[in-house]
Amino acid sequence: MKDTFYITTPIYYVNDVPHIGHAYTTIACDALARWHRMLGKRVFFLTGTDEHGEKVQKSAAAKGLSPRELADQVVTNFQGLTPALTISNTGFIRTTEPRHYASVQDLFRKSLASGDIYLGEYEGWYCVPDEAYWTATQITDGNCPTCGRPVEKRKEPSWFFRLSKYQEPLLDYYRKHPAFIRPESRRNEVVAFVEGGLNDLSVSRTSLSWGIPVPEAPGHVIYVWYDALTNYITGLGYPSPTAEFGTFWPADIHMVGKDILRFHAVYWPAFLMSAGVAPPLGVFAHGWWTVEGQKMSKSLGNVVDPYEMVRKYGADAFRYFLLREVSFGLDGDFSEKELVRRANSELADKLGNLLNRSLGMLGKYFAGVVPAPGRSEPADAVLSACGRECAPAVAAAMDEVAIHKALAAIIDLVTKGNEYVQSTQPWALAKYPGKRARLGTVLYNALEASRVAALLMAPFTPTAAQKLWEALVPGGEPVENARIDRDGAWGRLAAGATLPAACIVFPKIET
């Protein structure tokens, strides 16, 4: 097993405040980063902001600010997501930092030197909001094929990247790395796009000034996507031969929304190949959220503010809902009603309840001291088998970035735990002194199922998982320092430990 893991979010445009889409990508990456740490890997987790380009320049002008002033204001909203959503990123990059200028210009120079970047003239249809040029055949009725907004005809001298030369190398890379683009359906889309032929790509602009200058070419700034994609290596210290770059590159996962997959799976590996840098190992495209059945938009006034969700429901419930509700990779629909329903029925009634009823009975019947388990009966074997299979099931799911399946496996364990308590009826056993050993075994198993669940929930609901963990492993290391292979094994709950009588981690959300 590779002992490092490098995961990135897209860098977010600073022309707007964060919404659920940004929160989603970042939360998914955080769950993966935390998971891989608990496998014992060294993890680098990068996020940041995309601060150049026409979109930011225009938004700033509309507010009477310079682009840098706008960026400086808005960036704090994105940096604030880290504490608000309990994100464990190890780096934050702003594309306006000097280290990034050096990195982008270095990469660009390498492709100039290899002859892959040349001077020409660009004419095409430009979508300003998406910062993308389209050919006449790509646009539909004068509108951008991805966002549907009107495009404008533009002509300007431009440096071009010889993308056409990379058609075969890219297809070859996709063939040799079948997991490079996930999910599978998205991979097929990209392969078909590249098989359709690639045009050289305009990678500089003279029509705008808010960007990184093309080396030795006054008047040209580097195309914002070339600039933005390079953040992934700048964040590790490129082009200096830093330890981070040597250790963590190539990236394991660039997590992106489905709308920006082409930039990551086609352009980015080609830029890197041309400069002699290894392409990333994986790009995962997730789906989009609608809000109560509708496209999220400012004009509809239905933009979901992650800060507000955290204030209302707490970061854990919000994280849980986003990761649990949809098959990761597909689109989903956000509704607060569903969030509350899931948080109440799964986090409070299943996960929280299993621990609380078990702790309550432990306090009542054993003065809070964990008994040693005795002989196993058939009902015990069903639960312990589920407990033993849980960490491997979560591992398999996280391996295929099926985050929803990981959560389903954990919820399955706590569901079985509650059924176990229901069927073994410890309160009835407690009436007979002769059944004390059996009562001890039942409570041990119920608590052990909670312990395994608490451990496995740590990547998804970190704050709550830590509280559950503290109740079950008093005085132990924080759960984020636990190891899945060691601590995920069944039977590690310490007999003889004194546990609290209650632990209310998920109070019911009142509506």
Q: Which residues form the interface with ligand MSP (CB under 6 A)?
A: 10-13, 21-22, 24-25, 50, 228-229, 231, 256-257, 259-260, 288-289, 296
Comparing CA positions, the residue from 236, 208, 232, 233 lying closest to residue 222 is: 208
CB neighbours of 239 closer than 8 A, spacing ≥ 6? 102, 103, 106, 107
Type of residue found at 248: F
Least distance (Å) from ligand MSP to the CB of residue 260? 5
Q: How far is CA 87 from the centre of its chain?
A: 10
Return the residue nearest ligand MSP (CB atom).
Answer: 257
Closest CB to ligand MSP among 224 and 464? 224
Least distance (Å) from ligand MSP to the CB of residue 229? 5
Burial zone of 64 (CB within 10 Å; 0-12 exposed, 13-18 middle, 19+ buried): exposed
Least distance (Å) from ligand MSP to the CB of residue 35? 20
Least distance (Å) from ligand MSP to the CB of residue 135? 21
Total Cβ atoms within 10 A of residue 443: 25
Closest CB to ligand MSP among 44 and 289? 289
Closest CB to ligand MSP among 10 and 329? 10
Four-point Cα dihedral 236, 241, 243, 246, nearest 10: 80
Closest CB to ligand MSP among 92 and 469? 92
Closest CB to ligand MSP among 95 and 450? 95
Comparing CA positions, the residue from 211, 194, 231 lying closest to residue 159 is: 211
Closest CB to ligand MSP among 100 and 451? 100
Closest CB to ligand MSP among 332 and 373? 332
3-state secondary structure 421-442: HHHHCHHHHCCCHHHHHHHHHH
Least distance (Å) from ligand MSP to the CB of residue 246? 22
Give the strand pairing for 253-257 and 4-13: parallel
Least distance (Å) from ligand MSP to the CB of residue 496? 48
Residues paired with residue 255 on neighbouring β-strands, in sequence order: 284
Least distance (Å) from ligand MSP to the CB of residue 296? 5
Comparing CA positions, the residue from 71, 68, 86 lying closest to residue 30 is: 86
